[in-house]
Structure 1
Amino acid sequence: MKERLGPIPVVEMTPEQRAAAQAVIDGPRGALYGPFVPLLRSPELMSSAQRMGEYLRYRSALGTRLSELAILVTARQWDQQVEWAIHAPIAAQEGIAPAAIDAIAQRRAPGGLAQDEQAVYDFCMELHTHKRVSDATWQRAVALFGEHGVTDLVGLNGYYTLLAMVMNATQSAPPASTAAPLP
């Protein structure tokens, strides 16, 4: 597949695109990559999305380990190779078991998850599969993470779904990664 909206040379960027790109580069990501390459065609959308993503990825009430698990579930649901290539190694580094990462990649329910990981996995799977969350799953998540954490969990699923849609539609190429591509 050929990328539909690849990188824009700096000399061809509008002033708005340059400012939006620089904000991403100057932030915790440190570079313009992944979904921000195609999103740069709409600098205001990209700027808004990257601010939300910066919060969800780096400061979520769930913490990085559980946020990365939610990202992996979303990436797998959308067959999103870029998200997987970026986030599978981070999830492993943050403490998600390699066997759990592999199970998610293979579309199998991972075994042996910690209680908080199981709650995140179940919540994400129900939300993606049924487009809603059961009362029992909701209550378990609120008991573990509070309303703030559950709101961030919904936000993580929605935000990474948006990015997956952008990258799937524009056929974004995955970066080199230590993670095996999704089957």
Structure 2
Amino acid sequence: MNVSTPRDGYGVLTEPATLTIQRVLPGPIDRVWAYLTQGELRRQWLASGEMTLEVGAKFELVWRNDELTTPPGPRPEGFTGRHEMESEITEVDPPHRLAFTWGRSGGVSFELSEQGKHVVLTVTHHRLPDPAMLLSVSAGWHMHLDVLAARLSGTEPEPFWDGIARLRAEYTRRLSA
């Protein structure tokens, strides 16, 4: 699927229950791949957890969103300081494609392609089971990818929870349209 990068950076529904979101990131591709696959680098923008890059390998993702930015901003009600999820790798083609299971949804895939000195990262979250999860995943991926872009660019992202609050409101508007 060839999805163009929206100018505003927002995710789009590419199927009724599938979110696709893209970012153009500073390369090289191996550096971006490392931020997807190495637990300590991934912890800086998404969740920690060591993974063996083999189809069928199980691993645990551990979120500590309060630690992603300084300051983190006020955590909304209903969110905890730590969250864990068991996952399993379903596809791996270094440094171009990684896919794994994701909770109650159909899974998530990451595709990397080189574009000069930049890398286009396409994240696709498949088979989201209900509107509430679609909203949560949309705002969550958007903010986590904003943090990744900042880390790769050497800049400081906005406070994580402030961004989540802003993005939840915007995705509520966009997804109900």
Same fold (TM over 0.5): no
**TM-score normalized by the length of structure 1:** 0.28
User: Which protein has the bigger helix share?
Assistant: 1
Counting strand residues as a fraction of each chain, which structure ranks higher?
2
